[in-house]
Chains A and B, each alone.
Chain A
Amino acid sequence: MEITSKPARRDFLKASAAVGGGLSLGVSLTLGSKVAAAKVASQQKTVATNSPNAWIKIGTDNTITIMCARSEMGQDVYTSMPILVAEELGVDVNKVKVEFAEPAEVYINALLGGQITGGSTSVRDAWEKLRKAGASARMMLVGAAAKEWGVDAATLKVTSDGVVTGPGGKKATFGSLAEAASKMEVPKDVPLKPYGSWTQIANKAQKRLDTKAKVEGTTALFGIDTKVPGMLYAAVVMPPMIGGKVASYDDSRAKNMPGVKAVVQYSRGVAVVADSYWQAKKAKDLLQVTWDEGPNANNDMRKVWSGLKEASMQPGAVFREGGDVDAAMKGAARLFEATYELPFLSHSPLETMNTVADVRTNGVTIITPTQFQQLVPFVVAGAVGMKPEQIKVVTTFLGGGFGRRVEVDYTIDAAEISKAVGAPVKMLWSREDDMTHDSYRPGGYYKVQMAVDAAGKPVAYRYHGTSPSISSRLFPSIVKDGIDPFSVEAIDNFPYAVKNHKLTYQMFDAGITPGYWRGVSHNLNAYVVEGFIDEVAHAVGKDPIQYRIDNLEYEGEKHKWSGLSAGIPVGGRMKTVLEQVREKAGWMKAKLPDGRGQGVAVMEGYNTVMAAVVELSVTKAYDVIIDKVTYVVDAGPLVHPDQALAQIESCTIFGMSACLYGEITVKNGGVEQTNFDQYRVVRMNEAPKSMAVHFLSPAKDQPPGGLGEPATAVIQAAIGNAIFAATGIRVRKMPFSPENIKGASMKA
């Protein structure tokens, strides 16, 4: 048995203050008593956005390679990022090669302050930066040719496969010019093509660059597909209770199984390392481990919910306030109130967590599907006792991410195991390991009140959310004054004009590790905001779409905590999408049969504004069947329109899985659901029968909004409202399972 060093697993990140338009996260690593501060980014530092060398590699054979510095997990950065470079470089994106970039400062996502793929920020961050990189490179290459030929650069052209042509039939490939170009000064301020005059951006016919590889079968390499010479396979046993630790273990049977090379303890658990995965897996099932059960050993859902409800009695931290809510509520004609209960959820990407780690005496190679490659060297260095610069990180394709792979826990595990056995190791989690050792979308308990005047107009609004804080664990320094910016999304930017309002948030640690989950707190708050406004609209006898339009906020103060959102009221944009969705969805046009109804929701998130109308049926057994979904989306320019559409399709299914079926529960401190038979997700037969997505044309100079997440939240709220329309039952407890719908009908 060998015990490796034990780095602190939690709180490894320290972040500096939230700044305008984003969050700046610095990274520091706590290693036992020794603090190895490794500042990766600081908000003062301007990232060199104009260094084309980081983004474009040109071979002497004129092979043009565009670096992709974001992780491809389905959302299309492998194509959308290169399109931005290629547009201004002047080459056809379909003729370039794409490579995933290693961690480097130049690749930091300015909206997040680290080389992170998340927060629907990839295109938003890259929008100017990558076009400028392409334009700079083009200017340098053309400049080199102009110099060589002694002509004016303005007379030269670039062909789609990277050849500079000039007067008198002069020709030179990028490859032949690259060396001379690289010696030229990087242009300081390079002009971009006029807005909208693009040939590759917004091209509806553009295909994904990774489809062929993903269809072939063995060509697209995911983390799980990695193989390096001499590699062994690790299967692991981790504590079944959250926060548990290994007390002791008996490996007498496991270590004698065929193919087993070693049984090693590491920080989090015990690993069996063998010649093949199946041998390791079979042997691990024979391990006898005794657990030090830790502080959550007796945790269960009764405690979680009573804890959340008790915590909700606290006043919480105020994140937005105006007028005098108490006075306005006293004097109002009618007062409505409701409470909402939202469950914990698992990410469960189809590729389970895995990493290949090769720890040598002089350095480490980590090959891993990660959303946060830049953090990996720091945590692995701490785990194996080396320096971050000794850790090489290779990012593979990701078999889904959804926020789970922002965490780097599994890279640490693999490195510790490789170090312990002195060989390269592929550590692979079973589905059961994965589902029970996730970081979970936190559940929450929400109290909300609205007072209206005699005409039904809102006069006072009170919102009090209680839920675990994700950032308190991962990025504690962005949490200020009791407020986690990633707990108040889609409510800090509450879209309705209510003069008297008070919005508060109360943290509560429920003993279930919280994590960033596609859409993060938009999913929690948007359902409460949009569900409750719907309740009030119905109660005062107004049409839900018209009631929303009539009460939108058009102007007002900046939103203090909305780091990744528009940050200002967007009533005008919301009005447009609501009016259009009313039209496109045939809102209330036809008399629907019993048990069928339409529901609406609208939201701004990641500077994308969208409205959805869902038409669904609820069966006599309270099963929900989604018949038709209509979206109108204002996301600015679409870099790759077909894949913008694909993201809406994707978010729709992901949100449906969450709101119709998703619920993670704990018992004896551990997660009860272990596989897809207990954690149900949407399948083919449950997918919407019809889906229509309408994107608005961008306004002049409108920047792109994020698209990887927002529809996940919007669809859930629209489904909840449609269930009410179909049945008259307001379901305030998710998921919308037959049990919860029936339960709500009994209460009503």
Chain B
Amino acid sequence: MIVAFNLNGKQVSTDVAPDTPLLWVLRDTLGMTGTKFGCGKALCGACTVHLNGQATRSCQTPIGVVAGQKVTTIEGIPMTHPVKKAWVALDVPQCGYCQSGQMMSAAALLASNRKPTDADIDAFMSGNICRCGTYTRIRAAIKAAAA
């Protein structure tokens, strides 16, 4: 099935089975490997992208539902974005594997809440696992990006 959608501001189309998760279309078909696979069940947040601006787990999003929609991935967030600037300034990543998902969640949080409290950060970010344990820096980076 041919599915056309807007990816990081550009029209793209892909011809894969409609149940194929957006994650694998991004990674394997379109070569956008910034979005990571972690659990396959929306438990870890590594695959987080924005679907029409909302933080969405791409491993649980069939490509069929993306038709005509607007998708933003980590590659579509410029280095001048406050979240990316804060991540660089605080040296947040360790292994870095979860960080695309963390930054996509953080960017979505800040888009809807310009001054998140600790409780807001906890509530919004607790879907993103970091096995290296960079949580304290993520929290600080979100606050820095909000400032």
Residues of A at under 8 Å CB distance from B?
72-76, 207-208, 210-218, 220-222, 224-225, 227, 233, 258, 276-279, 282, 348-352, 397-402, 428, 430-432, 642-643, 646, 649-654, 657, 675-677, 681-689, 691
- With a cutoff of 8 Å between Cβ atoms, the chain B residues found around residue A215 in the complex are 79, 84, 87-88, 92-93, 99, 103
Chain A nearest CB from B4 CB (Å) reads 19
Given A276-B29, A649-B134, A687-B133, answer yes or no on A431-B87 (Cβ-Cβ < 8 Å).
no
Q: Is the pair B34, A351 in contact by a Cβ cutoff of 8 Å?
A: no
Chain A's nearest CB lies how many Å from the CB of B27?
8
A74 in contact with B96 (CB, 8 Å):
yes
From the candidates B27, B75, B129, name the one contacting A676 in the complex (CB within 8 A): B129
B97–A643 contact, CB under 8 A? no
Smallest CB gap from A72: residue in B: B95
Q: Check if B94 sits within 8 Å of A350, measured CB to CB.
A: no
Interface of B is mostly: loop
Complex partner residue of B135 from A348, A350, A653, CB under 8 angstroms: A653
How far does the Cβ of A386 sit from chain B's closest Cβ, in whole Å?
A: 29
* B34 pairs with A397, CB closer than 8 A: no
Is A684 in contact with B95, judged by CB distance below 8 angstroms? Answer: no
Q: In the assembled complex, which residues on chain A have CB atoms less than 8 Å from the CB atom of B28? A: 233, 276-278
Q: Are B16 and A276 in contact (CB under 8 A)?
A: yes
Q: Knowing A215-B93, A217-B74, A397-B95 touch, does A687 contact B36 (C-beta < 8 A)? A: no
The residue in B17, B84, B100, B131 that gathers the most chain A C-beta atoms within 10 A of its C-beta is: B131
Given A207-B88, A431-B39, A676-B129, 14 more A-B residue pairs with CB atoms under 8 Å apart are A73-B95, A74-B93, A207-B91, A222-B97, A225-B27, A258-B17, A276-B28, A276-B29, A282-B17, A350-B130, A400-B131, A431-B38, A676-B39, A683-B128
Which one, B92, B96, B130, B131, contacts A220 given CB within 8 A? B96
State the B residues within 8 Å of A (CB).
16-17, 19-21, 24, 27-29, 31-41, 43-44, 46, 73-75, 77, 79, 84, 87-88, 91-100, 103, 118, 121-123, 125-139
Given known A215-B79, A217-B74, A217-B75, contact A683–B94 (CB-CB < 8 A): no
Q: How far is the CB of B62 from chain A (nearest CB, A)?
A: 10
Tell me whether B94 and A218 are in contact (CB under 8 A). no
Nearest A residue (CB) for B118 = A689
In the bound complex, how far is the Cα of B96 from the Cα of A612, in angstroms?
A: 27
Return chain A residues, CB-CB under 8 Å to B98. Answer: 350, 399
CB <8 Å contact, B97 and A430: no
A350 touching B88 by the CB < 8 A rule?
A: no
Select from chain A the residue with minimum beta-carbon distance to B123. Answer: A685
* Residues of chain B lying within 8 A (CB to CB) of residue A75: 94
Given A233-B28, A350-B131, A650 and B79 touching (CB < 8 A)? no
Q: Say yes or no: B41 contacts A675, CB within 8 Å.
A: yes
CB-contact partner of B41 in A233, A282, A431, A646, under 8 A: A431
> B122 to chain A: which residues have CB within 8 Å?
684-685
Known: A276-B29, A278-B24, A400-B97. A677 touches B43 (CB 8 A): yes
Residue from A74, A221, A225, A691 within 8 A of B94 (CB atoms): A74
A685 to B38, CA, bound (A): 20
Identify the 3 closest CB pairs spanning chains A and B, nearest first.
Answer: A653-B133, A217-B34, A399-B97
Q: Are A650 and B94 in contact (CB under 8 A)?
A: yes
A and B contact pairs by CB, cutoff 8 A, 23 listed = A211-B88, A217-B34, A218-B32, A218-B74, A224-B36, A276-B29, A278-B17, A278-B21, A279-B17, A348-B131, A350-B46, A350-B129, A401-B95, A430-B40, A431-B38, A653-B135, A657-B131, A675-B39, A682-B133, A682-B135, A683-B126, A683-B127, A686-B126
Could you say which of A213, A397, A653 has the most chain B C-beta atoms within 10 Å of its C-beta?
Answer: A653
For B43, give the chain A residue with the smallest CB separation.
A676
- Assess whether B87 is in contact with A211, with CB atoms less than 8 Å apart: yes
A710 to chain B, nearest CB (A): 15
Bound Cα distance from A62 to B56, whole angstroms: 45
Whether the Cβ atoms of B41 and A681 lie closer than 8 Å is no
What residue in chain B is nearest A681 (Cβ atoms)? Answer: B129
Q: How far is the CA of A686 from the CA of B129 in the complex (A)?
A: 11
**What is the minimal beta-carbon distance from B120 to any residue of chain A, in angstroms?**
11
Residues of A within 8 A of B74 (CB): 216-218
Q: Is the CB of A399 within 8 A of B36?
A: yes
Contact A210 B96 (CB under 8 A): yes
A563 to chain B, nearest CB (A): 26
Q: In the complex, what residue of chain A is closest to B83 when comparing beta carbons? A: A215
